[in-house]
Amino acid sequence: MTKKRFIEFLYSPFPYFMTLCLLLEAITQFLTVNQLGSYWFLIMCNTFCLSFVFSIPYFFLNEKYQKIYLSLSIVCVCLFYLSQCLYYQFFTTFYSFSSMLNGGVLFGFLKQLMNLLLQNIVIIVIYLLPIVFHFIFVKNKMNYIYMSHNMICYIVMIYTLLCIGSSYIYYFTQTTRESPLELYNEKTMQNLAVSKLGLSTTFQIDFQGLVLGKDSAVSVITPTTTPQTLEKVANTMKIDFDSLIEKETDETIKQMHQYFKNVTPTYQNEYTGMFEGYNVILLTAEGFSPYAIDEELTPTLYKLYNTGFQFTNFYTPLWNVSTSDGEYVAMQGLLPKAGTWSFRDSSSNDLPLTLGKQFSSLGYATYAYHNHSATYYNRDQSHPNLGYVYKAIGRGLTMTKQWPRSDLEMMQKTVDDYIYEDKFHAYYMTVSGHLEYNFLGNTIANNNQDLVSHLDASEPVKAYMACHIELDKALEYLIQRLEDAGKLNNTLIALSADHYPYGLTLDAYSELAGKSIDDKFELYKNSFLIWSGSMKEAIVNNKLGCSADILPTLSNLLGLDYDSRLLMGIDLFSDAESLVIFESKSFLSDNITYYAPTSSVTYKKGENESELNRLSHIVKQRLNMSKLILEKDYYRTLNLHNE
């Protein structure tokens, strides 16, 4: 190749796209997941392939439109990586193609987004520099290149070689945990996939999954069954799986029947029906943390924790759609499907095991509330389908216009809806604990600033506590109203978080905790509060648990008729095996701590490779079954309402 031809090649779009994408990929990896992809050669192959795809239209345009196309492409690529990086800074996850199509949801945080832009000026400049460089130094030097026969042959040949190289890596790494082939086949946007395969590759396969459909095949690993004894009564419903299997024509559903038939159920125990017949108030508290429980600042939360059930080993994993997925796990006992809005997607599904449906079928008055927009995350579709009369801003609930809105005001304006009913169940999704944690743009924090001014702490920590003082006031008001109505001793209150307060930096969260917080698992350790006025003293539960365990635990305490085999969590009072599952396929068990992004394993009771493999299979199976329950509207095929 002559010097002239080599220079022309350098100023052609392919090496230009390739270099830019690799540079932006590396920058984004370091600024988000803080590591280069585990399969960097695979990232390079896929980036080369994408660069070719981007380059092809260039060769069919005339000189004028070649420059326009190239400039627009450069701008779009830079803005894509920038937007993903900023989204990660805000939500600690990446947006999927589906979320991008629902991007209007971000405008609910317009002020916070503006602050995010201001706080990340340096990052924005880094991503915009290639655009500036292009328009100043490159744009006018790009040569007009036509698509010759030889060029077509070269492109096809190189593209084919790169595809073969990628396939080679996919094939020969398929036996590893969280292998590239497994992540590719899932075709979803996950932090784990980004950390191993790169952002552009993950977004590409997420797009393919949305357009072409995701593989719903079931690879059934029959669960190990435990023989039932006469002394044990299983929390199951009368489901004739054998008959269902015989009649089913859908092979996937048939395999699901086979799977759930063999799941070991949880069994009734000394706490079964402890609160049977009680009224129930369930809260998902925005950004709640165990470190928000303080005897002086949040005395009601302190009371609930210290005179109720104390779950000392409880975790709230963060999922791809943060708050909405956090609600989904707690309320449905299922794990979210990656790459979509699971709660929204369940809006037309049959959900007979949720508390709203269970209690409404028992004649309870059932209400759900949220002190933010009724349509946010499409809750106006999902929450009525849970069996509730749903009220929020724009749907029957009028509140003072501010950000965030007051949990106390929401409680004051809703309690009268149900408190005089003979039997009731109410659900609240709070918002006072929402980021950002400062005294300038956060009305709740500003209103309670005087109550935290004496703290020897940074502004974000003070503001965070000020926000949760509002939640505490709401609970105090609720308890007082229940007592005045004579309902306190026969009402159960349960509270959990949607996610940890990711609006605090790790350093600020460590400051709040009063100790250094590990960002792998300890970051997600939280509290699950269960309390009733009828309780005389605290009951400590040291069993390892998580948000997926909330529904089965409450169902058992309340003596509800449910089938524990169909839920992805366990009753925390049972003797069932504990397992905390994270979006990345990381997990915690009584013996093993497995961190998927780095494939690191810690054993507590001695190394056991077979147990690690068994638990890894269970994790993947539960994630897969949760996905299929959502996709197939599986509960409807079981017709549980007739039981």
Reported as a single tens digit per residue, the pLDDT across 62-80 is 777 887 888 898 899 999 9
Supply the pLDDT for residue 45.
75
Q: CB within 8 A of 173, min separation 6: which ones?
A: 39, 179, 180, 181
What's residue 143's pLDDT? Answer: 55
From 555, 489, 179, 175, select the one nearest 332 (Cα to Cα).
Answer: 555
pLDDT of residue 196: 78
For 601, the 3-state DSSP assignment is strand
H or E element at residue 253: helix 251-261
Residue of 186, 94, 95, 33 lying closest to 623 (CA atoms): 186
**Burial (CB count within 10 angstroms: exposed 0-12, middle 13-18, buried 19+), residue 321:** buried
Per-residue pLDDT, 156: 67
- C-beta of residue 556 within 8 angstroms of C-beta of residue 271: yes
For residues 615 and 594, the answer to whether their CB atoms sit within 8 Å is yes
Q: Report how far residue 183's alpha carbon sits from residue 196's, in angstroms, rounded to the nearest whole number.
A: 9
Q: What is the pLDDT of residue 222?
A: 46
Separation between Cα atoms, residue 16 and residue 253, nearest integer Å: 48
pLDDT at residue 360 in the model: 97
What are the phi and psi torsion angles at 293 (to 5°)?
A: -85, 115
Could you tell me the CA-to-CA distances from 288 to 366, 429, 431, 529 in Å, in that order? 24, 11, 10, 11
Q: Would you report the helix, strand and coil content of the chain in percent, each value rounded to 5? A: 55, 10, 35
- What is the per-residue pLDDT across 208-228, written as a single tens digit (0 to 9) for each? 776 666 544 444 444 544 444
In this prediction, residue 357 carries a pLDDT of: 97
551 within 8 A of 330, measured Cβ to Cβ: yes
Q: Which amino acid is at 446?
A: N
pLDDT the model gives residue 226: 46
Residues 6+ apart with CB under 8 A from 4: none
Q: Which domains does the chain have, with CATH numbers?
A: 3-212 (no CATH), 244-479+499-524+538-642 (3.40.720.10)
Tokens matching residue 404: 């965030």
For residue 236 the two structure tokens come to: 């199951």
pLDDT at 35: 66
Q: For residue range 34-56, what is the model confidence (pLDDT) as tens digits?
A: 766 556 777 777 777 777 777 77
Residue 228: per-residue pLDDT: 46
Q: 280-298: buried (b, 16+ CB within 10 Å) or exposed (e) per residue?
A: bbbbbbbbbbbbbbbeebb
pTM for this one? 0.87
Buried b (16+ CB within 10 A) or exposed e, 4-42: eeeeeeeebbbebbbebbbebbebbbebbbeeebbbbeb
Residue with tokens 């508290």: 285
For position 39, what pLDDT does the model report? 67
State residue 190's pLDDT score: 77
Give the angle subtended at the CA of 21 by the CAs of 68 and 182, to the nearest 5°: 130
Distance of alpha carbon 366 from alpha carbon 447, whole angstroms? 32
Cα–Cα distance, 16 to 51 (Å, whole number): 8
**Count of CA atoms in the C-beta half-sphere (13 A) of 580:** 26
The 3-state secondary structure of 131-169 reads: HHHHHHHHHHHCCCCCCCHHHHHHHHHHHHHHHHHHHHH
The residues of the chain scoring below 70 in pLDDT are 1-12, 35-39, 102-111, 138-156, 158-159, 161-178, 180-181, 185, 187, 210-231, 642-643
- pLDDT given at position 87: 86
pLDDT number for residue 490:
97
